[in-house]
């Protein structure tokens, strides 16, 4: 499923750019019993996660962009 705004709150962004009804949408997708991949890009900050729920929770990909404003690196490295 391709959408513009975040279907759930992005953990690295302070603002709330989440779509209205995003949690309800992911719940509906989960209830189908099928595996879903939800791709969005609104803020162009890359992040891959599972929506809340069980084994049929949608995978959510926040797509990055080479044209986007750079953000600080997240995570740790040796």
Q: What is the model's pLDDT at position 52? A: 78
Tokens 């991949």 found at: 37
d(CA 39, CA 48): 9
In order, the DSSP letters of 17-43 are: -BPTTHHHHHHHHHHTTS--EEEE-TT
Q: Residue 77 above 70 pLDDT?
A: no
Q: What is the model's pLDDT at position 73? A: 59
Question: Who's near 18: CB < 8 A, 6+ residues apart?
Answer: 5, 6, 7, 8, 9, 10
Q: Could you tell me whether strands 59-62 and 47-50 are parallel, antiparallel, or unpaired per DSSP bridges?
A: antiparallel
Q: What is the model's pLDDT at position 69? A: 62
Q: Which residue has the higher pLDDT, 45 or 2?
A: 2
Q: What is the model's pLDDT at position 63? A: 82
Q: Residue 62 above 60 pLDDT?
A: yes
Q: What is the model's pLDDT at position 50? A: 83
Is this structure's pTM higher than 0.75? no
């Amino acid at each position: 499923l391709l959408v513009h705004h975040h279907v759930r709150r992005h953990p690295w962004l302070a603002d709330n750019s989440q779509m209205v009804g995003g949690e309800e949408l992911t719940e509906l997708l989960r209830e189908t019993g099928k595996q879903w991949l939800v791709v969005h890009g609104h803020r162009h900050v890359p992040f891959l996660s599972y929506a809340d729920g069980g084994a049929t929770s949608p995978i959510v990909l926040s797509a990055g962009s080479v044209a986007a404003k750079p953000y600080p690196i997240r995570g740790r490295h040796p």
